[in-house]
Amino acid sequence: MGDPQELKIGCCGFAVSQKQYFKLFSVVEVQSTFYQLPEVRTAEKWRLNAPPGFEFAMKAWQLITHEPWSPTYRRLKERIDQTKHAQYGRFQTTPQVLDAWNRTFLFAQALGASVIVFQCPASFRPSKENVNHMEEFFGRADRAGFRFAWEPRGEWPEDLVFRLCEDLDLIHCVDPFKKRTLYGEPQYFRLHGVMGYDYSYTDEDLVSLSAWVKGKPSYVLFNNNTMKEDAIKFMKLKECLHALP
């Protein structure tokens, strides 16, 4: 686990080969675990190949958060029982979701992950049923030292997001150019492009981003098409600002 007081800058996924990535950055958010959870031995290999001090975050498997009609299931390699589609997603504490969480947990342990990100679809709305599912799921999920970050999409009342994050010990994960973070430390930012994935961040954007993380422990993970270039540019900007008297 890394030092929670640091500013950590990287990408959502390996933007280049792992060997090159390890030379450029000190943190990555693994994306493939969302679509199809790899075997535990893959996590062990990645951890072994990473240099000392390198940090992994990862996305939780979509079977926990998304229902099978989500288009993201097209990238799921395993077959799931069509007669039990209703048992997947939405943080339900069904055998199917709990099994997906157990496998996510084991992979995260082997990876030595520090943060597990639970990204929800826009269709996951703030209904009483969904809130109850979250409370039950996170109330029983083994933390084992992991930090949990929750990225709700769609419209959720701020007071409800704050309450859930406070009660369930979740970091409110946001794109800071679109929403403000409401709870949790360190901050966890996922940057999807101000106007979509093709967007490249300007110097002015990165100065604003620098102000948002100033003096606050933060993860800043770029998730746009030019994520490698933008992450490097932001690192250089932070180094220049740090050097100023």
CATH number at residue 234: 3.20.20.410
Within a domain: residue 27? yes
Does the residue 201 lie in any domain? Answer: yes
Domain-located, residue 220? yes
Of the chain, the end-to-end C-alpha distance in Å amounts to 31
Q: In the structure encoding, which two tokens stand for residue 59, read together?
A: 């996305």
Contact 9, 46 (CB under 8 A): no
Looking at residue 2, what is its pLDDT? 40
In angstroms, rounded to a whole number, what is the distance separating the alpha carbons of residues 162 and 160? Answer: 5
pLDDT tens by residue, the chain, 245 residues: 444 458 999 999 999 999 999 999 999 999 999 999 999 999 999 999 999 999 999 999 999 999 999 999 999 999 999 999 999 999 999 999 999 999 999 999 999 999 999 999 999 999 999 999 999 999 999 999 999 999 999 899 999 999 999 999 999 999 999 999 999 999 999 999 999 999 999 999 999 999 999 999 999 999 999 999 999 999 999 887 665 44
d(CA 30, CA 221): 11
Residue at 134 is within a domain: yes
Query: Domain containing 131: what range?
Result: 7-243
- The CA distances from residue 169 to 19, 24, 78, 135, 159, in Å, are 34, 32, 31, 11, 15
- pLDDT, position 241: 66
User: Which residues, at least 6 apart from 233, have a Cβ–Cβ distance to it below 8 Å?
Assistant: 201, 203, 206
Q: How many domains does the chain have?
A: 1
Please report the pLDDT score of residue 240 as a whole number: 78
Structure tokens that stand for 23 in this block: 């030379």
Asked whether the beta carbons of 217 and 6 are under 8 A apart, the reply is yes
pLDDT at 234: 97
CA distance 154 to 186: 23
Q: Identify whether 92 is part of a domain.
A: yes
Contacts of 186 (CB under 8 A, 6+ apart): 4, 8, 147, 171, 216, 217, 218, 219
Q: Is residue 110 part of a domain?
A: yes
The answer to whether residue 2 sits within a structural domain is: no
Task: Measure the CA–CA gap between 93 and 127, rounded to whole angstroms.
Answer: 16
What is the per-residue pLDDT for 1? Answer: 41
pTM of the prediction?
A: 0.95
Residue 178: per-residue pLDDT = 96
Planar angle of CA 135, 138, 144, nearest 5 degrees: 160
**161, part of any domain:** yes
